[in-house]
Chains A and B, each alone.
Chain A
Amino acid sequence: MTGEHRDAAVTDPNWEDELRAGMAQDGDVGSVEPELAIARLLLHAHAPAALTTAGHDAIWRQIDGAIAPVPWWRRTAVLWGGPLLAAAAAVVLVVALRPDTPAANPPSVAVASGDAIAAQLENQFAALAPGARANVARRVEVSRGSMRGDLLAMARGGGTQGGAP
């Protein structure tokens, strides 16, 4: 067997079939896989498969897809955190701007402030009342003097006009 014939024998695809047929005749004892792997390597080294341009581009697209940096808006944290943050902000806005919020506690606030105002007014009255009563008494006394003067005038007028002796 010349060297060229050996190469042909090695690269001949029928060699694998012959090898499997021989193993079958031996009763499928053992394994021919290591030998087949070496045979495929030798086949590839002898005649490398030509890569078409389309195949080349497809491979590079896969590589680009695998190694290209992910844009920030497509990162997992953003994809999951963004909606969560938006939902939280919406909840805060709804709670903060809900028209009912100020009125949620107004009864207690109003009652508290109302009681406080009423107590304050009563305290103010207690402080102002003595002076006011004194003022009323003073002015009533003025009215009393006026009334007395009127009565005296009436008495005098009645004495002169009544024809009394």
Chain B
Amino acid sequence: MSVRWLVPVLTFVLGGASMLVGLAQAGRLAPARPEALVALAQIVEVEHRRVDLLLERHDEAGAIAALEALRGQRWPSREDGGDLGEQLRHDVYGRLVRLRLDYPEVDPQTDEALLQVVADGLGPDYREVETNPFTARLVALRGELLEERGRDGEALGAYEEALEMNRRLLELELAEVP
């Protein structure tokens, strides 16, 4: 292969790599294991419906237990499940913490324990996940827990972060409106 061909090939490779990095930063990479994502989505959807039914029967304890069982399952990594897998986890954790806050008398947990649940749910890279309402909600719930602990400064930071996420989502929604 002559040098004349090497330059366009390298340019193409570098361009492709840059695109992949950009997409990863934007949180739009497809999951490496789509089957894991599909399976996870099915499980989460079924469990959400189950929790809906339990709440309709005013069985908050059962709903919390169901979500706790879902939380305890093995979640795919961000590489395997992609950003959608992260969003599904944030959705489940958010619903669980919401119920914990709304029904503190059911299997009481300390605020510190709930903060740890939120931290586990968000994961270390939640800011790199494409903006979505589930992550924003979990961040907002962290704000509520921090506020209950009297850590007002950190709570305000979490609230502002969640509001910023929702503002970006609203801008995206408005941009999609013809």
Judged by a CB distance under 8 angstroms, whether A81 is at the interface is no
Judged by a CB distance under 8 angstroms, whether B38 is at the interface is yes
Stretch at the interface among A9-17, A18-26, A92-100, A120-128: A120-128
Contact A114 B152 (CB under 8 A): yes
Judged by a CB distance under 8 angstroms, whether A118 is at the interface is yes
What range describes how many residues of B lie at the interface?
Answer: 20 to 34
Judged by a CB distance under 8 angstroms, whether A90 is at the interface is no
- Provide the bound-state CA to CA distance between A128 and B155, in Å: 22
Which chain B residue lies CB-closest to A143? B34
Query: Residues of B contacting A118 with CB < 8 Å?
Result: 140, 143-144, 147, 159
What range describes how many residues of A lie at the interface?
Answer: 20 to 34
Contact A124 B38 (CB under 8 A): no
Query: Residues of A contacting B87 with CB < 8 Å?
Result: 132, 136
Contact B132 A132 (CB under 8 A): yes
Contact B133 A129 (CB under 8 A): yes
- Provide the bound-state CA to CA distance between A150 and B87, in Å: 24
- Provide the bound-state CA to CA distance between A111 and B173, in Å: 31
One digit per residue, 1 when the CB lies within 8 angstroms of any chain B CB and 0 when it does not, for chain A 135-165 equals 0110110011011001000000000000000
Judged by a CB distance under 8 angstroms, whether A67 is at the interface is no
- Provide the bound-state CA to CA distance between A75 and B51, in Å: 84
Contact A125 B136 (CB under 8 A): yes
Judged by a CB distance under 8 angstroms, whether A79 is at the interface is no
Residue in B30, B34, B133 whose beta carbon sits within 8 Å of that of A132 in the complex: B133
Query: Would you list which residues of chain A between 97 and 120 have a CB under 8 Å from chain B?
Result: 110-111, 114, 117-118, 120
Contact B159 A124 (CB under 8 A): no
Shortest C-beta distance, A44 to chain B (Å), equals 93
Which A positions have Cβ atoms within 8 angstroms of B?
110-111, 114, 117-118, 120-122, 124-125, 128-129, 131-133, 136-137, 139-140, 143-144, 146-147, 150
Q: Given A114-B147, A124-B136, A147-B35, 10 other A-B contacts at CB below 8 A?
A: A114-B144, A114-B159, A121-B166, A129-B133, A129-B134, A131-B173, A133-B91, A136-B84, A143-B30, A143-B37
Q: Which 4 A-B pairs have the closest CB atoms?
A: A128-B133, A143-B34, A121-B140, A140-B41
